[in-house]
Amino acid sequence: MGKFTILCVVVSTVVLLVTFGRGIEVLHGGDAASHLSWAVAALVSVLGANFITIVHAAQSDRIIRTLRSQIEDLQREHREERGK
């Protein structure tokens, strides 16, 4: 999941940079419709990458809670064995 998140962020960054370039072209008399198309693509890709990042973070948080619970159980068992 981490590699996919990184790929989404890279793709959205590339689209954002192309959008910036198209915006500069508009300032010099370029096609505004092309810039708007790239701007929408940048917005959608950034929102998608952010959504995937949030999902990934939520899964990581769940995994961390599970691992902490298992570690606490093991520590409790170890303390009980030492106490006997």
Cα 43 from chain centroid (whole Å): 14
| pLDDT at position 76 | 92
What does the pLDDT average to over 55-65? Answer: 84
Instruction: With a cut of 80, say whether residue 35 has pLDDT above it.
Output: no
Cα distance between residue 61 and residue 1, in whole Å = 14
Report residue 16 as tokens.
């954002």
Which helix or strand (DSSP H or E) is residue 84 part of?
A: none
Q: pLDDT at position 1, please?
A: 59
**Average predicted confidence (pLDDT) for the chain:** 84
Q: H or E element: which one contains 30?
A: none
Q: Which two tokens stand for residue 34?
A: 């092309």
Q: What pLDDT score does 84 carry?
A: 64
What distance in Å separates the CA atoms of residue 52 and residue 5, rounded to the nearest whole number? 6
